[in-house]
Amino acid sequence: MQTAIMIFDGLTALDAIGPYEVLAQLPGSEVRFCSKEAGPKRTDSKALALTADYALAEVDSPDVVVIPGGEGNRPLLRDQEVLSWLRDVDAETRWTTSVCTGSLVLGAAGLLEGKRATSHWLYREALREFGAEPVAERVVADGKLITAAGVSSGIDMALELVRREHGDELAQSVQLAIEYDPQPPFDAGSPEKAPAEIVEAVSAFARRNWPSVA
Amino acid sequence: MQTAIMIFDGLTALDAIGPYEVLAQLPGSEVRFCSKEAGPKRTDSKALALTADYALAEVDSPDVVVIPGGEGNRPLLRDQEVLSWLRDVDAETRWTTSVCTGSLVLGAAGLLEGKRATSHWLYREALREFGAEPVAERVVADGKLITAAGVSSGIDMALELVRREHGDELAQSVQLAIEYDPQPPFDAGSPEKAPAEIVEAVSAFARRNWPSVA
C-alpha cells in the first residue's frame, strides 16, 4: 500500500507524523513524502525541516493520500497545480484523508462537496464554504474520505483507516507497537471538555496569530 | 526556554515530534534539533528525513533535553562523544527527558543510576542494566528526569513537563491547541490492555526485527 503525505513550508509537523508513524508500521507499506517541489520543508515553528523526497508529479497513484494542516497550507487553497494533483489522485485512491486544516485544502479541491467532514475545532465551521457539513467529531469518515480534527488526531485517524482497510488485529498491533495508550495530565483536549477560560484564551491567541481561511 | 531534541539516523519520528509539537507551542520557546553532525537524519522506516540544524557542540546549555528512541540509537549507547555531551548538558538542564528507547541512551550515559524510569514496554526491563528501577507507567518523573513509554507517549510526557514547569493553565492550553483528545478505535495501547494474542504477535515481530539493547 502506497501512502502519499503532502507536505509544504509552514506545516504542523505532528499532523503529518502521526499518520506516518501508524501507516509506516504496516507490512508492505510505502510512504512517500511529497510536495510541489522535492526538498526540505520548514515547519510552522521554523525549528525543523522535514524532507519531501518526491515532487507531486512523481506520486501519481497512491492508495492513500494524507493532507496535513498548518498555517503554510493557506496558499495551497488557490494553487491550481496542487488542487489539480489532489483531484487526480483522489480519483484512484482507496482513502483520501486530512488532519487539522488539511481539510481546507481538500475542500478547495472540491472534494468535500456534500460530505461530512471535520478540521481543527477553530476552523471547523469554515468547511461550509466548501459545501461540506462540519461534524464535531475527532475522526469523520464519509465513504473513502476520512478527515480528522486538530493536530494530534491524525494518530486516531490512521488507526481507524488501518482498522477499515486491514481489520481489528492489525490496528491493535500497530496501536500496541507505538504504545498508544494516551494518558494526558488533563481532560482538556477539546473545546467541549476544556475549561471555558482556556477555550477563550486559545481562541483569542489564534485570532491574533493564526491565519484565517482565505 | 531552550529545548534540545537530539536526533540521529534510524530514529522513530513520532518519539521526537510528539514532544516537539507540545514544547514549540510555549511562549518564548526555542527548539533546537541537534545531532552529532548537523544535517538530515533518516527515520527508522527510511521514508523521511528530519533535519538537525545544530551539531551537539552548538547546543551547550539547553533548559530541556529530549532523547527519542528508534533502532538507530543503539550505536549511541557506546558513543562517548554523545554520552559525554549528554552528561555535560544534564548538569545544567531543568529537565532531562526521553521517549521510548531514548531512556537506554540516558542509561548508557550513567544518568539513570538509582532512578525510577521507563521505556517502550518491550525494552523496559533492560533499564536494569543501567542501574535503573523500571516502572510500568506511561510517564515516570524522578526529580528532573522524566522518561516516557513507547513512541506516542512523548506527547503525554511533554504535557506533564509543561504542567510542572509552567502550571495547569498553560498545559491545558497547549493540549487544546493541539486538540489532544485521544480516541483510538481500541483500548489496546499497552501490553496490560491489549489482547494476549496481539501482545504475543507484536513481541514475536519485535524479536525478529528490532535490535536488542547491546
Per-residue confidence (pLDDT) for residue A214, from 0 to 100: 55
Residues of chain A with C-beta less than 8 angstroms from the C-beta of B48: 20, 31, 33, 50-51, 53
**What stretches in chain A show pLDDT beneath 70?**
214
Which CATH superfamily does the domain covering A2-183 fall into?
Answer: Class I glutamine amidotransferase (GATase) domain (3.40.50.880)
Active site residue A34: no
* Grid cell at residue A128: 461550509
Separation of alpha carbons B153 and B15, rounded Å: 8
Per-residue confidence (pLDDT) for residue A212, from 0 to 100: 78
The Cα-based distances of B115 to A34, A149, B66 in angstroms read 43, 38, 17
Question: Which of A183, A190, A203 should we substitute to test contact with B (largest number of B Cβ atoms within 10 Å)?
Answer: A183
Query: pLDDT of B74-125, one tens digit each?
Result: 999 999 999 999 999 999 999 999 999 999 999 999 999 999 999 999 999 9
Whether B17 contacts A70, CB under 8 Å:
no
Per-residue confidence (pLDDT) for residue A213, from 0 to 100: 73
Per-residue confidence (pLDDT) for residue A190, from 0 to 100: 97
The Cα-based distances of B206 to A13, B128, B136 in angstroms read 27, 20, 19
Per-residue confidence (pLDDT) for residue A211, from 0 to 100: 83
Per-residue confidence (pLDDT) for residue B210, from 0 to 100: 85
Q: What is the ipTM of this complex?
A: 0.96
**Of residues A100, A132, A140, A159, which has the active-site annotation?**
A100
**Of residues B100, B117, B126, B149, which has the active-site annotation?**
B100
The dotted CATH code for B2-184 is 3.40.50.880
Strand partners, A31: A3
B155/A184 Cβ within 8 A: yes
Find the residue in B nearest to A182 (Cα).
Answer: B182
Distance from CA of B23 to the nearest CA of A (A): 10
pLDDT in tens, chain B (214 residues): 999 999 999 999 999 999 999 999 999 999 999 999 999 999 999 999 999 999 999 999 999 999 999 999 999 999 999 999 999 999 999 999 999 999 999 999 999 999 999 999 999 999 999 999 999 999 999 999 999 999 999 999 999 999 999 999 999 999 999 999 999 999 999 999 999 999 999 999 998 888 877 5
In which order are the strands placed within the sheet that holds A49-52?
A39-42, A49-52, B49-52, B39-42
Find the residue in B nearest to A148 (Cα).
Answer: B179
Q: What is the pTM of this model?
A: 0.97
Question: Which of B41, B51, B64, B152 should we substitute to test contact with A (largest number of A Cβ atoms within 10 Å)?
Answer: B152
Whether B34 contacts B55, CB under 8 Å:
yes
B14/A13 Cβ within 8 A: no
Per-residue confidence (pLDDT) for residue B213, from 0 to 100: 72
